[in-house]
């Protein structure tokens, strides 16, 4: 089973929109990788931390990923850009939507 980290812009989006995009990424990754996928839960909903704190938590989770899926629009999101740099620098394979 593949551990998949999903990097996606979240600012200004509803929880439902985020969840739908994550489900799409999971199904598409299973087709591409031809393996079962377990999505690493990096969707934080408690809302009481600073953005940089969430990014720190995300990077901890990224460290255990087998693959990273970057959703559309990642290039404009600060956290996604940093997650992309980290994935590339540390050799975690990437899939772009």
Domain boundaries, the chain: 2-96
What digits encode the pLDDT tens for the residues 1-60? 999 999 999 989 999 999 999 999 999 999 999 999 999 999 987 678 898 999 999 999
pLDDT of residue 21: 97
CATH topology of domain 2-96: Rossmann fold (3.40.50)
What average pLDDT does range 56-80 have in this prediction? 97
pLDDT of residue 67: 98
The yes-or-no verdict on residue 64 having pLDDT over 80 is yes
Q: What is the DSSP string of 18-70?
A: HHHHHHHHHHHHHHHHTS-EEE---------S-HHHHHHHHHHHHTT-SEEEE
pTM of the model: 0.93
Look-up of token digits 């990754």: 29
């Amino acid at each position: 089973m593949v551990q998949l980290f999903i990097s996606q812009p979240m600012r200004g989006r509803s929880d439902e929109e985020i969840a739908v995009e994550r489900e799409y990424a999971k199904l598409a990754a299973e087709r591409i990788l031809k393996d079962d996928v377990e999505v690493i839960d990096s969707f934080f909903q408690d809302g009481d931390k600073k953005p940089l704190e969430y990014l720190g938590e995300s990077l901890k989770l990224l460290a255990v990923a087998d693959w990273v899926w970057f959703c559309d629009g990642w290039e404009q999101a600060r956290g996604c850009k940093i997650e992309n740099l980290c994935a590339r620098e540390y050799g975690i394979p990437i899939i772009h939507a």
